[in-house]
Chains A and B, each alone.
Chain A
Amino acid sequence: MNWTIAIFQTVLFVALAPLLAGFLKFCKCRLQNRRSPSFSQPYRDLLKLTRKQPVISQDASWLFCVAPYIIFTMMILAATVIPLIAVDMPTSESADVIVLVGFFAFARFFLALAGLDIGTAFGGMGSSREMTISSLAEPAMLMAVFTITMTASNTDLSGAIHHILNEGATLHPSFVFALFALILVAVAETGRIPVDNPTTHLELTMIHEAMILEYSGRHLALIEWASQLKLMLYGVLIANLFFPWGIAQSFTIGALSFALVALVLKLIVLSVFLALAETVVAKMRLFRVQEYLGFAYLLGLLGMLSHIILESTR
């Protein structure tokens, strides 16, 4: 029974990811006074891409073809770890939050290699920048997450959420810092404005798009889907870690469906915020990013310090 729900939750995760991307696009278009494509447009795009014949560069090796599968698989594994609508899933025990970061690192490793595989300047540029940004973002993310896990003295996400739920309404100063740090990292890691622009193909500004320039067909579909999944993973991580209320603690139909409704509401709020931020903020120069991520790291550090100083005096 538990396993069925766990698998159902993962499938739900994967299935909802394009919808979130579509909704985000809708919000952004409305905020910028444009007409938006329907919510289901990302699904149609993915379907179209899987039907198309992939074209592979003659300089590409097997790694180029395997990478999309690895990236997508890692994102699915990450989806099994993050509680979507219920905690205490059997799958979430197999990995904690450090392993989650490891999954992201795994996917990124192959994405960057795929960028280098075809031997173009763009691919190398994308890989170089991606690895730079992510290597700065990873410590900031771990700092933010460690603040929570130290409060809960538990690095399992399920356990941490449990702890927060059981504790009732407590004001944690450190959580404020951790939340902001995690939001900043999430923006950087999912390649949104102001760090990267997912809609541009202007060579000097792109990071993620530069690496996947040569992909087409079903390979491109997998990578697109994986990045939509990544966005959703970060969104759910933020929503459920900092605002876990509503998540199902028992596996009854009622609790699960309530949790689903709560989750949808949380994600709607988050994506409206993200769309708003993307509308009002301009993209940064590449060499401002380290200041941005340094700030995220500082926030994480302050969160950690305020946890130690303010919250657990002995």
Chain B
Amino acid sequence: MILTLAYGAILLSLASACFALLQTRFTAMVFLLLGLSGALAIAAGIGELLDQTVLVDNLKLGLPWQTWKIRFDGLSAFFFLIIGIAVFAVSFYAPHYTHNEQKNPASFAVLSLFTGLFIAGMMLVLLADDAFMFMIAWELMSVASYFLVAFQHENSANRRAAFLYLLMAEVGALLIILAFGVVASFADGFTFDALRASQISTTWMSIAFVLALMGFGMKAGLVPIHVWLPEAHPVAPSHISALMSGVMLKVALYGLIRFCFDLLPEVHWQWGVVLLIVGTVSALSGILYAMMQQNLKRLLAYSSVENIGIIVMVLGLSMIFLANNHKELAALGLLAALFHAFNHALFKNLLFLGAGMIHHQTHELNIDMLGGLIKRMPKTSVIFLIGCMSISSLPLFNGFVSEWLAFQTALQVGVLDNGVLRSLIPVSAAALALTAALAAACFVKVFGLIFLGVPRSRHAEKAQEIKSFGMLAAPAMLAGLCFFFGIFPSVMLDFLGGVTNHILDAALPQTSVLTPLWLAPVSMQQASYSPLLILVSVLITALILFFVLHGKGATKARIAPTWDCGFGALSPRMQYTSSAFTMPLRRIFATVFLIDEKVEKTMRENTKLNVADVRYSLHIQDHSWVHVYQPIERGVNRVAKQVGRIQTGNIRTYIGYSLATLILLLWVVSL
């Protein structure tokens, strides 16, 4: 039954793709099918999470001797749920959004076709139970999303970004195939069951782990293999970036978790340390780069790098605990990581949809050109604010709960025997704290510069509230979920307890309490958090305050021009801009960035004092471009040139090559 729902979700998204091809006037039908697909995916996910029995099936598809094996367990179901929620939200949001963005029916058909294929691909990845089907679904997902990134291909920069994305996706896929291949060579067959039973040596297991980490890490956006993310996300339409950032990165994480925790027979603490370090570096550099961006969607893309980093870091913690035989703490770590993945899917989706709304109304994504939207788009601003608060991990919202759980996991480090690990983990916990604080600063910048203050451009000044119901309802629903899971995290944590139980074969600590009222991951004596109680006390305190200060006799506030210490007339250009806001952090963390800052002054009348005009330009580049990619690029070019030498153009030389190849082959056969 549950499996039928899952199949239904996939078929409906394929149906939506087919329907788009027909290019009828009933575009609404495309999104209706998509919405139904999302709803079915949610139902399938929740059903399986409640049920927690592993469902297997065998589809008579694919190669004759290698039919597609299907497996639907708690972990798949959890990620299915994530996809379902995102697709459901997007199906409400997209009709109006695409209607206005794209007048041409053909391009609409292309967009919807690949959206449907993309979603079906992601769902199939989750269902796969053998490496063949996994890779086919993975490629479907990658290639479909390439077309989505390349959607606005009129612009050459967009084509470049899309090509970069395709290149990295394919290199990543190659690495994943290699990882599967390494394990499969020690097993009989490519089914996941066979892989689980493989008799693989530690060295080869470590090689497979590194390959998988790089392959899945490329898709997930770990530093330094993250560079496609900030290029591809801003280029795609907003609801597609929402799906890519909110969901596709999670599918990559699913692959990593499935491969490391489920398929490989055992884990080693050294791998955990690798994940911990890679995650910490990604989290910190992700948020620092995010902070420096002016383009809202680029900023959000970098912030995805940060959040994926946090998740990988917590996965590393979990792995370290698992390898040291503290299974209950490993379960706690995995729980925290999965919950953060869920939360990130919610709020990142919300923020990308919000970015789309802003772009839709102002045709502007440059933070420095916006401002004052809170008065012009009040509903959007509230929804966006909730997203910002969740991602800044403020208490009462969902982001905080998962980060709190991550801290609680890290603080259990005392049980480990290895002194180096015991000193490394607190340091990464502090890095996590720094990341969270920087994220708050970053999203203060985002919300403050976009919605508050005075408009900085005509576009922003003329912005109006969104009229379409669906376009508001989708992000509003996500915002509601962010708040709901911030207050009642136990709803999701209960589900996840089952998932970790299944994957790691270990339950949370006996004494842990996860009820709607109390959250105590280890025991009530050690640490507890009660979002509901805090919410109630917030409300009571706020009510008392309000009645005391606004009761009878309170004077009404007077509206007056801004005082500003009595200086002269204010103009919108006097406000802090994005680069001004982040200047202190840019200067403090100067070594992290490649900064190209120029101030050009033109003087009046050849004097050195009378400045006529000042031009300021700031360009910030990613270190990884210069220090990782350009050397690789140069190396590839050099090799290509060497290889090019064999292309002499002389026909007799080519015949000589053929002869040499033939002789070589004959020799090989004779061996």
Q: How far is the CB of A191 from chain B (nearest CB, A)?
A: 16
One of B408, B561, B580, B587 near A57 (C-beta < 8 A): B561
B371 CB within 8 Å of chain A: yes
Interface locus among B137-145, B327-335, B426-434: B426-434
Q: Return chain A residues, CB-CB under 8 Å to B555.
A: 52-54, 217
Q: Are B574 and A121 in contact (CB under 8 A)?
A: yes
CB-based nearest B residue for A117: B452
Contact with A along B371-390 (1 / 0, CB 8 A): 11011000000000000010
Q: Are A119 and B452 in contact (CB under 8 A)?
A: yes
Overall SS of chain A's interface: helix
Contact with A along B624-638 (1 / 0, CB 8 A): 000000000000000
Report the Cα distance A93→B417, complex, angstroms.
30
B470 CB within 8 Å of chain A: no
Q: Return chain A residues, CB-CB under 8 Å to B445.
A: 131
Q: Return chain B residues, CB-CB under 8 Å to A312.
A: 414
The count of residues in chain A whose C-beta lies closer than 8 Å to any C-beta of chain B is 87
Q: Are B423 and A304 in contact (CB under 8 A)?
A: yes
Q: Are A112 and B448 in contact (CB under 8 A)?
A: yes
Q: Return chain A residues, CB-CB under 8 Å to B392.
A: 105, 109
Q: Return chain A residues, CB-CB under 8 Å to B533.
A: 94
B111 CB within 8 Å of chain A: no
CB contact under 8 A between A159 and B452, given known A55-B560, A69-B542, A127-B444: no
CB-based nearest A residue for B576: A124
Interface locus among B43-51, B393-401, B615-623: B393-401
Q: Are B453 and A143 in contact (CB under 8 A)?
A: no
Interface locus among B170-178, B298-306, B521-529: B521-529
A309 CB within 8 Å of chain B: yes
Q: Are A116 and B549 in contact (CB under 8 A)?
A: no
Q: Return chain A residues, CB-CB under 8 Å to B417.
A: 314
Q: Return chain A residues, CB-CB under 8 Å to B556.
A: 53
Q: Are A142 and B433 in contact (CB under 8 A)?
A: yes
One of A121, A132, A142, A314 near B430 (C-beta < 8 A): A142
Q: Are A120 and B528 in contact (CB under 8 A)?
A: no
CB contact under 8 A between A132 and B441, given known A61-B452, A73-B545: yes
Q: How far is the CB of B544 from chain A (nearest CB, A)?
A: 9
B557 CB within 8 Å of chain A: yes
A136 CB within 8 Å of chain B: yes
Q: How far is the CB of B380 from chain A (nearest CB, A)?
A: 13
B473 CB within 8 Å of chain A: no
Q: Return chain B residues, CB-CB under 8 Å to A98.
A: 404, 407-408, 527
Q: Which of B392, B407, B441, B572 has the most CB of A within 10 A?
A: B441
Q: Are A139 and B530 in contact (CB under 8 A)?
A: no
Interface locus among A18-26, A146-154, A231-239, A260-268: A146-154
Report the Cα distance A103→B404, complex, angstroms.
13
Q: Are B371 and A119 in contact (CB under 8 A)?
A: yes
One of A117, A222, A308 near B422 (C-beta < 8 A): A308
B608 CB within 8 Å of chain A: no
Report the Cα distance A99→B527, complex, angstroms.
10
Report the Cα distance A106→B538, complex, angstroms.
12
CB-based nearest B residue for A129: B584
A155 CB within 8 Å of chain B: yes
Q: Are A300 and B558 in contact (CB under 8 A)?
A: no
Q: Return chain B residues, CB-CB under 8 Å to A128.
A: 576, 580-584
Interface locus among B121-129, B347-355, B562-570: B562-570
Report the Cα distance A198→B430, complex, angstroms.
29
Report the Cα distance A142→B430, complex, angstroms.
7
Q: Return chain A residues, CB-CB under 8 Å to B396.
A: 106
CB-based nearest A residue for B389: A109
Q: How far is the CB of A126 from chain B (nearest CB, A)?
A: 10
Contact with A along B474-508 (1 / 0, CB 8 A): 00000000000000000000000000000000000
Q: Return chain B residues, CB-CB under 8 Å to A109.
A: 389, 392, 394, 440, 444
Q: How far is the CB of B189 from chain A (nearest CB, A)?
A: 44
CB contact under 8 A between A65 and B557, given known A77-B541, A116-B453, A124-B576: yes
Q: Are A127 and B429 in contact (CB under 8 A)?
A: no
Report the Cα distance A159→B557, complex, angstroms.
45
Q: Return chain B residues, CB-CB under 8 Å to A119.
A: 371-372, 452-454, 562, 570, 572, 575
Contact with B along A216-243 (1 / 0, CB 8 A): 0110001000000000000000000000
Q: How far is the CB of B393 from chain A (nearest CB, A)?
A: 7
Q: Return chain B residues, CB-CB under 8 Å to A91.
A: 537
Q: How far is the CB of B7 from chain A (nearest CB, A)?
A: 43
Interface residues of A in 49-105 (CB under 8 A from B): 50, 52-59, 61-63, 65, 69-70, 72-73, 76-77, 80, 91, 93-96, 98-99, 101-103, 105
CB-based nearest B residue for A56: B557
Q: Return chain B residues, CB-CB under 8 Å to A134.
A: 437, 441
A177 CB within 8 Å of chain B: no
B419 CB within 8 Å of chain A: yes
Q: Return chain B residues, CB-CB under 8 Å to A63.
A: 374, 452
Q: Return chain B residues, CB-CB under 8 Å to A203.
A: 565
CB-based nearest A residue for B524: A93
Report the Cα distance A301→B423, complex, angstroms.
9
Give the top 5 A-B pairs by smallest Cβ distance, nearest first: A124-B576, A116-B448, A119-B453, A135-B437, A131-B441
Chain A contact residues, CB within 8 Å of chain B: 50, 52-59, 61-63, 65, 69-70, 72-73, 76-77, 80, 91, 93-96, 98-99, 101-103, 105-106, 108-109, 112-113, 115-125, 127-129, 131-132, 134-139, 142-143, 146, 149-150, 153-156, 159, 201, 203, 213-214, 217-218, 222, 286-287, 290, 297, 300-301, 304-305, 308-309, 312, 314
The 15 listed contacts between A and B (C-beta, < 8 Å) are A53-B557, A73-B542, A73-B545, A93-B530, A94-B533, A99-B395, A102-B394, A121-B574, A124-B580, A131-B444, A135-B437, A138-B433, A139-B430, A218-B549, A304-B427
Chain B contact residues, CB within 8 Å of chain A: 371-372, 374-375, 389, 392-396, 400, 404, 407-408, 411, 413-414, 417, 419, 422-423, 426-427, 429-431, 433-434, 436-438, 440-441, 444-445, 447-449, 452-454, 524-530, 533-534, 537-538, 541-542, 545-546, 549, 554-565, 570, 572, 574-576, 580-585, 587-588
Known A55-B557, A128-B580, A287-B584; 11 more pairs at CB < 8 Å: A69-B546, A105-B440, A120-B574, A122-B565, A127-B448, A131-B441, A132-B584, A159-B526, A218-B554, A286-B584, A297-B430
